[in-house]
Amino acid sequence: MTQIFDESGNIIPVTILKVGPCVVTQVKIKSKDGYDSIQIGYGNVSSKSLTQPELGHLQKSNIQPLKYLKEFKTNEEDEFLIGQVLKVDSFSPGEFVNVRGKSIGKGFAGLQKRYNFTRGPMTHGSKNHRAPGSIGMGTTPGRVLPGKKMAGQLGNKITTIKKLKIIQINSEENILVIKGSVPGKPGNLLSIVPSD
């Protein structure tokens, strides 16, 4: 993340993303596959790092070995051809996108950090500072109800941040500058789709 200035001199917090180029590896159509979608691949690798089924799938379409494959549902499958390269030019400044990725894992976290619970009193001999407190009723129902907020794994989940505005595009370097933050650490793999 960094910040840039617009024409008025206002500071805009932005994230700089390296986007693509991605290759269309498969086009699925409703009559044959039951639904419309395209599969795209990213990240050239050596053929040794892929399994035989993965290699065969790509060689069938004469596409170089790719590390990541992901499917996206679409209604305009006629616009895509196998082997077509999708670049950052597919987007335009001012457009809104949804960015999906795995959030930063924060380990086993307590209730204050995970759910913003308030803590207990710190003075007057109270020994309840960051404890969870009561977790349910007595004899009836005699159990803890499902979905109870408790301490546990925080982060490391697939999350989507919606309606992020594209500020700039650099076609030579395949760089996208987006207003705001995106999920995960630097170097994280993201999927970027236009907002509805």
Is 94 found in the same domain as 76? Answer: no
61: in domain:
yes
138: in domain:
no
135: in domain:
no
Is 189 found in the same domain as 95? Answer: yes
Q: Which of 182-185's residues contact partners 24+ apart within 8 Å by CB, and which partners?
A: 182/15, 182/17, 182/99, 182/101, 183/99, 183/100, 183/101, 183/102, 183/103, 183/104, 183/159, 184/101, 184/102, 184/103, 184/104, 185/104
Is 192 found in the same domain as 98? Answer: yes
For position 159, what pLDDT does the model report? Answer: 96
CB 169, CB 88: distance < 8 Å: yes
The series of mean pLDDT values per 10 residues for the chain, 196 residues long, is 93 93 91 91 90 91 91 85 90 94 96 96 95 93 95 96 95 94 93 90
Q: Identify the domain boundary among 43, 71, 86.
A: 86
Is 82 found in the same domain as 41? Answer: yes
For position 164, what pLDDT does the model report? Answer: 96
For position 41, what pLDDT does the model report? Answer: 92
Q: Structural domain of residue 40, as residue ranges?
A: 21-86
Instruction: Give how many domains the chain has, as a whole number.
Output: 2
